[in-house]
Chains A and B, each alone.
Chain A
Amino acid sequence: MFGNRVEGLALTLPAAVFAAALFLLPVGILLSEAFRTPEGWSLGAYWDFFASPRNRTVFWRSLALAAEVAAASAVIGYAAAYAIVSLPPKSRGRVFGLVILPLMISPVARTYAWLVILGRTGFVNQALVGMGILDTPLRILFSETAVFIGLLQLFLPLMIISLVSAMENMPRDAIPAARVLGANWAQVFLRVILPLTREGLVIGGTLVFTGSLTAYITPAILGGSKVLMLETLLYQRVAVANDFVSASVIAMILIVMSFSANLLLKRMASARRARA
């Protein structure tokens, strides 16, 4: 509404310069590090990175775990979101609040809880041994299962939030109508619910996938050095071996992933605005 360009610039420039100087510049230099060699620019560092079997394992494990967590949270998320939407308004608000609440709590505290539950003297093992089902405690910690459980608990709320808001926008009589017309529950889900909530699923799925892919705390605490993921590998390469070239390659992978996820979300948001 105000035409004065100088004033507008004066208001926005400090924030932009701050973010550029402290963010874009250092991160840009870090990313360029993998391409710089004494003999000039090269892609060799990427070749070397993926030539190592350990790095490939970590790369695929991170992608697979993130995809598994996203898929599991979609399945649980649909059941939970459908249950939440079918509640009367008052208890719906309360339950929704309880689902969101964990998001505000320190992820270290949230992950630590699984140490207590899954550890050797933890809840699960004490119960199994106590009931005589097992003789010796199971080793659940420092396995992919433990990381999977931790990530699922961390990110499930994001999926539920996205699916609840998608379901709230669904025409209320769509499901009863399909039922009356003779569809069974599988058909209702595949042909009515899924197409109408596709957007929420993509948004939730992207948030959960990128969140899991770029997680540090959960794999660090529940996976340790046995189950490295991209960020814990990055930390280890720098802390143990001062290997900034690998760090730069991993940084590029993470940024490309989360940038494309962000782009996808933005496109979905603008498509929705165009339709509205």
Chain B
Amino acid sequence: MNGRLATWAVLGLVLLFLIGPFFIIIAASLSAGNSLAFPPQGLSLKWVIKVFEIESFRASFGMSMFLAIFGTLAALALGVPAAYGLNRYKVPGAEFVRTVVSAPIIVPGIIVGLALLRYLVIPTGVGIGPALFLAHTALILPYAVRVVSASLENLRTDIEEAAVLLGCTRFGAFRRVVLPNIRGGVLAAFILGFVTSFNQVPVSLFLSGPGVRTLPVDMIAYMEINYDPSVAALSALLAFMSVAIVFAAEKFLGFSKYV
């Protein structure tokens, strides 16, 4: 009995430390006062509404959504064939390919952003937007390859061999046999890539310019100048969004077994 009490006391404290701050953000964002404070000064939804009225947040939210969706799709377009090739073929230099493809996970994002700004954007005149898109794609690529590889490893190879023996082309076998079977893994990779890209800050720090800014970078810039609860409201909304995505993913596909 005593042991159980201690167990829950430890867990209570740890969860309070990890999750408690979110309740404080929610409370602070419902404040009626004009500066950030807890406990809030009166209750109102004015800061939640204000978030949607701030022009730059709307623009940067769109930018982040675009990057998260299309950057992840591009990473999957590169990563799914690569994972399939690495798992099913004898590729010369496979170990090297694996290292190169997973390199973006090892290199801190801020360095990638800076390197792309200095050696891609400035000399070639490529816009910051396209560079940001390429950077996010590269960043998600390792996750795409890893998660899809894991589900390919769990898929028996004899069913696709059977399909090929029965006259299917290699591509046909991939499309009609393999792809339906790794659908869950691909979807899990998409969700992981989406969340990673959407929350990513360092890569986008240097890759920002007039009108091109991701939402988290915009939030940091805004809070350097303003001390009002609108960032609290936005943070609360983003937290709800992430929680909703994770719950839906867990419910419909058992997300946690892929990650």
A: residues with CB less than 8 A from B are 1-5, 7-16, 18-20, 22-27, 29-30, 76, 79-80, 82-84, 86-87, 95, 97-102, 104-110, 112-117, 119, 121-123, 126, 153, 156-157, 160, 214, 216-217, 220-221, 231, 234-235, 238, 244, 247, 251, 254-255, 258-259, 262
Contacts and interface: CB of A to CB of B under 8 A. Distances in A.
B38 A11 contact: no
B151 to A, nearest CB: 16
A26 B82 contact: no
Contacts of B219: 108, 112
B44 interface: no
A220 B82 CA distance: 37
Contact of A26 (B110, B115, B161, B232): B115
9 contacts: A8-B85, A8-B89, A10-B85, A22-B138, A98-B15, A101-B243, A102-B18, A106-B235, A112-B232
Nearest to B22: A113
Given A12-B85, A29-B119, A157-B18, A101 B11 contact: no
A98 to B, nearest CB: 6
A114 B242 CA distance: 19
Nearest to B205: A235
Most B-side CB within 10 Å, residue of A19, A115, A123: A19
A216 B242 CA distance: 21
Given A15-B79, A234-B110, A117 B38 contact: yes
Given A99-B15, A113-B235, A26 B118 contact: yes
Contacts, number: 259
A105 to B, nearest CB: 5
Interface stretch (B51-59, B98-106, B179-187): B98-106
B113 to A, nearest CB: 10
Interface in B33-91: 35-39, 78-79, 81-82, 84-86, 88-91
Given A12-B97, A26-B118, A114-B21, 6 more contacts: A8-B89, A110-B21, A119-B36, A121-B35, A234-B114, A255-B106
